[in-house]
């Protein structure tokens, strides 16, 4: 088996360092420089020849900057004769652009997948893609992990005898149902219609939530508009308490503080797939680590073992 070499871009070096700590391998340095004309240059500062190279880079703001940086890292590894190049994408931001729901718009999820493979990626390791069809946009193998186990372990600390898991929309209902099975609770879902990036309308909540403790589960929270709209309905249905859970805690602008200030919210739980600045954090926030899961998947990919066995 080829030797392993792990590199990180500038998007989330703390997560990359934690993954390497679990693997027991060094995180090799990467030099990112900028020319006078604003173009980037990337140099991988460790030998890649015939090695199993893993490049860790979530696509987080500034997304376009980090995407180009990742493409250059892939190209540098390919030019250095890497044996195999695996892109570790804890967060694939363009996954939300997965369909043509208006005239003459781009499908960014497919385009970025093509860019990654054209640059030289041989494999992708992703975490909680926004929709299942994004997996099929890649022409190389994709190992798709989710963070339901980590989230379930956290919530099992509580009394769940009167708890229901609620999905903000029907598109995430399958994931919410799987999460509810892990917790042994019923599941409900919101009937949502989106009019723009920050304007949504939930007409009803399908399922019994009255006088229940609610865990709202979504794949990501950015502005929080959907969750705020859902919580208005939940409070109208007289729920006892609300806990928010997601894999990708993007929390753009003042979203985290706004969610924390909502009535009935006891806790906001996310994972560390994306970095959350200390200045944004609130007392109700709990951040769980997915580094052990990503490290184990990386080890299995390197050793040629089953990654799907992680979900057994």
Supply the residues annotated as catalytic: 192
Closest residue by Cα to residue 195 from 229, 244, 231: 229
Backbone angles phi, psi at 43, to 5 degrees: -130, 120
3-state SS class at 193: strand
Residue 137, CB-side half-sphere exposure with 13 Å CA sphere: 25
Q: Let me know if 208 is exposed, middle or buried by CB neighbors in 10 A (0-12, 13-18, 19+).
A: exposed
Query: Quick one: residue 82, left, alpha or beta (phi over 0 = left, psi -120 to 50 = alpha)?
Result: beta
Q: Are 158 and 210 in contact (CB under 8 A)?
A: no
- Give CA separation, 10 vs 33, 84, 109, 248, in Å: 11, 22, 22, 18
């Amino acid at each position: 088996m080829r030797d392993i070499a792990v590199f990180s871009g500038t998007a989330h070096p703390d997560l990359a360092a934690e993954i390497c700590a679990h693997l027991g391998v060094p995180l090799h340095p990467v030099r990112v420089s900028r020319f006078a004309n604003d173009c980037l240059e990337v140099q991988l500062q460790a030998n890649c020849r015939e090695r199993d190279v893993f490049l860790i880079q979530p696509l987080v703001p500034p997304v376009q900057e980090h995407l180009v940086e990742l493409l250059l890292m892939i190209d540098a590894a390919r030019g250095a004769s890497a044996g195999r190049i695996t892109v570790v994408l804890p967060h694939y931001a363009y996954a939300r652009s997965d369909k043509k729901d208006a005239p003459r718009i781009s499908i960014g999820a497919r385009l970025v997948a093509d860019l990654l493979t054209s640059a030289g990626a041989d494999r992708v390791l992703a975490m909680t893609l926004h929709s299942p069809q994004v997996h099929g946009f890649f022409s190389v193998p994709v190992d798709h992990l989710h963070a339901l186990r980590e989230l379930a372990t956290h919530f099992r600390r509580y009394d769940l005898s009167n708890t229901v898991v609620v999905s903000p929309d029907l598109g995430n209902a399958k994931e919410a149902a799987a999460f509810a099975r892990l917790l042994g609770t019923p599941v409900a879902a919101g009937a949502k219609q989106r009019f723009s990036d920050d304007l949504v309308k939930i007409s009803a909540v399908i399922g019994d939530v009255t006088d229940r403790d609610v865990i709202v589960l979504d794949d990501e929270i950015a502005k929080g508009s959907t969750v705020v709209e859902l919580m208005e309905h939940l409070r109208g249905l007289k729920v006892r308490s609300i806990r928010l859970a997601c894999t990708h805690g993007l929390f753009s602008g003042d979203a985290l503080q706004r969610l924390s200030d909502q009535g009935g919210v006891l806790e906001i739980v996310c994972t560390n797939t994306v970095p959350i600045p200390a200045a944004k954090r609130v007392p109700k926030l709990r951040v769980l680590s997915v580094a052990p899961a990503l490290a184990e998947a990386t080890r299995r990919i390197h050793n040629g073992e089953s990654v799907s066995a992680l979900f057994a």
